[in-house]
Chains A and B, each alone.
Chain A
């Protein structure tokens, strides 16, 4: 092994066993991580990138997982052959990991000091004042403001970005040789994502450690990595220096990934089309109650005086960081949560209508949710899921006609109608999202709320989804309310844009104009983070 190699993975295979069957998830991959460099593993979900990274720390669910072949050489030792005891010494000390989900990777019952202190105690035997000093040092390193105060904080008192910083602080505490970052920014806002990427890049350069970065986002790879391995179906199809791979991709799959940017071709604004939906000073306030008598002491203003107007055939993109009230707006318009202020839909005020009175309108206004796994009932076949709306709104339709419409909706969203008797779990994420769109479409609505419909999908699938939505809009003259924090997707679809923060409109206007010429710092920060992964000056966006 040459001197400047940090980690060398040789012919690594990973197999999962379940119920007597064995599936090969990773098939003889080899790659090296050079000391002080960042290597990125890129690929769609299911490509085996996370399994590869986890097997470096032997964190896979053994014995359900096994390694039919391969070596992972670290400091001349094969990690796969180490005893569990020796392995524990490596974990958290020489090699550390930061996971995707900052909400669940910290123990909610321990303070920040205790969580970071634990790893110091385990590997260095530090307690008391030295441990605290080191904890403060790493918290400062990862840019947590007021680290002394934060020592006593519990995870729920921190924002998502701060939690991820604490996770990174934990990973840095023992000055590891290798930090594995398993999609550390996927669950974060674009603005926070830019901050975390900048932080990782900075720390890696400062401490001279190696970084193994797992992601499905090529934009991040270009920003942070020196070397990249592109994975597909358990194989590394291409690896090399980032500049080389981006400039001259060899493999067809890499080229497809690079071309997977959503094609910007939004529906033009229709200033003369009839107004489909209009709200006037729409408010969604959640009361904060205190004390025994539940006295209302204040309100969380999720939506605070939003006035929007949406014309036929347009797409209104709603963007903003998380907690800005974009999803609340969508649900309030569909009257899935209660709100105040008129909601005028095709000339009828929906505000105050009872559940039954709402029903005739529901046929014309539909919603597609973010999570393709959560939004389909796992116990119903696809046909049943799509048919449900028809049963409610066209109860007298003959069964054959219903089936015909289900088939038509599936064809519309590009799925094979023969698959309609299968259950959702037999479909991939992108296919499920298509089913969710088909469920909305089958009622032939004129207005659809799209609540982050692409953010749970892989890049390639995202681009396809955007094409599908645009195509459907043209064919059926649909009106969309498109909610997303992913500005690249919004740019591809929205004819007009609404930038939200803290439940209020920061900026609104025609999308093309707004993208060209943002007026406020907040909007500019959002755009910079989304398109260039650049951080904004402090105070403009949430940390």
Chain B
């Protein structure tokens, strides 16, 4: 190695090379954006630039994040991807948006006055006769739409798996003929609902639920941990004993009991799970605050007369946030798992709602229909793996030894 080329990027004199490089302060003069020196807020501090670089360096986690975000955004638009109502109808000089507005079927030549059922062949014929422009979502089923024209008894196979024998069977037993079938890409469940549509909606509700539970329980957990760690003494002692008792309550049984008493719904479940999930971060944040409150810069802030709330929020919380952020993806994956488990046991979301747990339990009940169980399994496995990979990358990103390397 040529020594002369090295001399140019010699270490600045204030750095102690005796310290292993992972403990050395950040040498970088400014972030790659060149904005590090400006008071632009938290996002552009060189520390965070470096964290982002560490995160990206973990390729698996980085791509997992992108894949997860794409899946999440796609599932957020579930209504435009899988819906039993058309996205847009232009008919008789008027434009209709059935996705957003419920129109009575009188608009489309029927006379019942009920909400229009766009999958009704009657209505479809009517629209065709009047040469209306109809734009459908790619999948013409919603999560609760029943396929009226199945090729077999429910649950029916994914349409592309149907073979000649299946078609013969359908023809003989009065089921829909193979040529006239609507595609069920992943088949239907035992109530005739399209599995792919249910999957998209189920994924969305799982992720939203996981996010909500993670955020709310983190806020509560961080606040509780902060108070305990900062004030210490009796506050800490009493709170800790309370948490010990609280966590020794058998969680799952209590959840089962409560959810059989209360009518389960998204927010009721959120509340019930929250009762137990907030404790997870408390110990971590408490430890960070206990450690942090004796730092000299905390003492200095107290000597300046800064109030406790401000010290906790501005000086101590950022320290604790590192630990919290590292844990978030893991908490989220376990939240998703808890919801799926409750759904699987039938104590989760109300019957009829799209849920991955219910799909899994159908798979268990219908072993002859492997597309149910396999779909559920692969979806849950993919979602949890992505979250774990992201979590690992976040952990790398916040690793102080790498951050200051």
Chain A residues in the interface with B (C-beta under 8 A): 13-19, 21-28, 44-51, 53-54, 60-61, 64-66, 68-69, 182, 232-234, 331, 334, 336, 355, 358-359, 362-363, 365-367, 369-371, 374-381, 383-384, 388-389, 392-393, 421-423, 425-429, 431, 436, 439, 443
Within 8 A of A (CB), among B277-308: 295-297, 299-308
Contact, CB under 8 Å: B17 / A425? no
Say yes or no: is B127 at the interface (Cβ < 8 Å to chain A): no
Of the residues A48, A66, A381, A427, contact of B17 by C-beta under 8 Å: A48
Within 8 A of A (CB), among B1-49: 1-3, 6-7, 9-22, 24-27, 29, 36-39, 45-47
Query: Once bound together, how far apart are the Cα atoms of A22 and B295, in whole Å?
Result: 32
Point out the residues of chain A lying under 8 angstroms from B15, CB to CB. Answer: 23, 25, 46
What's the least CB distance linking A190 to chain B, in Å? 22
Contact, CB under 8 Å: A65 / B46? no
Contact, CB under 8 Å: B3 / A50? no
Point out the residues of chain A lying under 8 angstroms from B26, CB to CB. Answer: 425-426
Point out the residues of chain A lying under 8 angstroms from B12, CB to CB. Answer: 46
Of the residues B21, B37, B297, B308, contact of A375 by C-beta under 8 Å: B297
Q: List 18 A-B contacts (CB under 8 A).
A: A13-B6, A17-B21, A18-B21, A24-B6, A24-B11, A27-B3, A46-B15, A53-B18, A54-B18, A64-B21, A355-B308, A366-B303, A367-B300, A383-B39, A392-B306, A426-B29, A428-B13, A443-B304
Of the residues A18, A370, A428, contact of B296 by C-beta under 8 Å: A370
The verdict on A377 contacting B11 (CB below 8 Å), with A19-B53, A371-B296 known, is: no
What's the least CB distance linking A331 to chain B, in Å? 8
- List of 7 A-B pairs having minimum Cβ-Cβ separation, nearest first: A50-B18, A428-B14, A25-B17, A362-B305, A375-B296, A51-B17, A23-B11
Query: Once bound together, how far apart are the Cα atoms of A425 and B37, in whole Å?
Result: 12
Of the residues A48, A66, A381, contact of B39 by C-beta under 8 Å: A381
Known: A46-B11, A425-B404, A428-B13. 16 other contacts (CB 8 A): A23-B27, A24-B9, A54-B18, A65-B21, A66-B1, A68-B1, A68-B3, A69-B3, A233-B10, A234-B11, A359-B305, A375-B295, A379-B318, A421-B39, A425-B26, A431-B14
Contact, CB under 8 Å: A24 / B7? yes
The verdict on A14 contacting B304 (CB below 8 Å), with A19-B53, A19-B405, A234-B10 known, is: no
User: Closest residue of chain B to A377, judged by CB?
Assistant: B297
The verdict on A49 contacting B11 (CB below 8 Å), with A23-B27, A358-B305 known, is: no
Query: Once bound together, how far apart are the Cα atoms of A181 and B12, in whole Å?
Result: 25
Of the residues A22, A28, A50, A388, contact of B306 by C-beta under 8 Å: A388
Point out the residues of chain B lying under 8 angstroms from A51, CB to CB. Answer: 17-18
Query: Once bound together, how far apart are the Cα atoms of A26 and B26, in whole Å?
Result: 19
Contact, CB under 8 Å: A367 / B297? no
Of the residues A68, A423, A431, contact of B47 by C-beta under 8 Å: A423
User: Closest residue of chain A to B315, judged by CB?
Assistant: A377
Contact, CB under 8 Å: B303 / A182? no
Of the residues A26, A69, A334, contact of B303 by C-beta under 8 Å: A334
Contact, CB under 8 Å: B18 / A49? yes
Query: Once bound together, how far apart are the Cα atoms of A384 and B405, in whole Å?
Result: 25
User: Closest residue of chain B to A64, judged by CB?
Assistant: B21
What's the least CB distance linking A440 to chain B, in Å? 8
Point out the residues of chain B lying under 8 angstroms from A428, CB to CB. Answer: 13-14
What's the least CB distance linking B308 to chain A, in Å? 8
Query: Once bound together, how far apart are the Cα atoms of A234 and B17, in whole Å?
Result: 9
The verdict on A24 contacting B10 (CB below 8 Å), with A14-B17, A19-B405, A358-B305 known, is: yes
Contact, CB under 8 Å: B14 / A45? yes
Within 8 A of A (CB), among B362-405: 404-405
Contact, CB under 8 Å: B296 / A425? no
The verdict on A336 contacting B16 (CB below 8 Å), with A22-B6, A23-B9, A24-B11 known, is: no
Point out the residues of chain A lying under 8 angstroms from B295, CB to CB. Answer: 374-375
Point out the residues of chain A lying under 8 angstroms from B45, CB to CB. Answer: 379, 423
What's the least CB distance linking A18 to chain B, in Å? 5
Within 8 A of A (CB), among B297-334: 297, 299-308, 314-315, 318
Point out the residues of chain A lying under 8 angstroms from B303, CB to CB. Answer: 334, 336, 362, 365-367
Query: Once bound together, how far apart are the Cα atoms of A380 and B24, in whole Å?
Result: 18
Point out the residues of chain B lying under 8 angstroms from A443, CB to CB. Answer: 304
User: Closest residue of chain A to B17, judged by CB?
Assistant: A25
Contact, CB under 8 Å: A375 / B300? yes
Contact, CB under 8 Å: B297 / A376? yes
Point out the residues of chain B lying under 8 angstroms from A427, CB to CB. Answer: 14
Contact, CB under 8 Å: A421 / B38? yes
User: Closest residue of chain B to A384, judged by CB?
Assistant: B39
What's the least CB distance linking B21 to chain A, in Å? 5
Contact, CB under 8 Å: B6 / A44? no
Contact, CB under 8 Å: B38 / A21? no
Contact, CB under 8 Å: B22 / A64? yes
Query: Once bound together, how far apart are the Cα atoms of A193 and B50, in whole Å?
Result: 41
Point out the residues of chain A lying under 8 angstroms from B14, CB to CB. Answer: 45-46, 427-429, 431
Point out the residues of chain A lying under 8 angstroms from B18, CB to CB. Answer: 45, 48-51, 53-54, 182
Point out the residues of chain A lying under 8 angstroms from B10, CB to CB. Answer: 23-24, 27, 233-234
Within 8 A of A (CB), among B177-232: none
User: Closest residue of chain B to A182, judged by CB?
Assistant: B18
The verdict on A27 contacting B304 (CB below 8 Å), with A14-B17, A51-B17 known, is: no
Contact, CB under 8 Å: A388 / B37? no
Point out the residues of chain B lying under 8 angstroms from A431, CB to CB. Answer: 14
Point out the residues of chain A lying under 8 angstroms from B37, CB to CB. Answer: 421-422
Query: Once bound together, how far apart are the Cα atoms of A375 and B299, in whole Å?
Result: 8
Query: Once bound together, how far apart are the Cα atoms of A182 and B19, in whole Å?
Result: 12
Point out the residues of chain A lying under 8 angstroms from B305, CB to CB. Answer: 358-359, 362-363, 389, 392-393
Most buried by A among B47, B296, B315, B318: B296
Contact, CB under 8 Å: B318 / A425? no
What's the least CB distance linking A358 to chain B, in Å? 7
What's the least CB distance linking B48 to chain A, in Å? 10
What's the least CB distance linking B384 to chain A, in Å? 31
Point out the residues of chain B lying under 8 angstroms from A366, CB to CB. Answer: 303-304
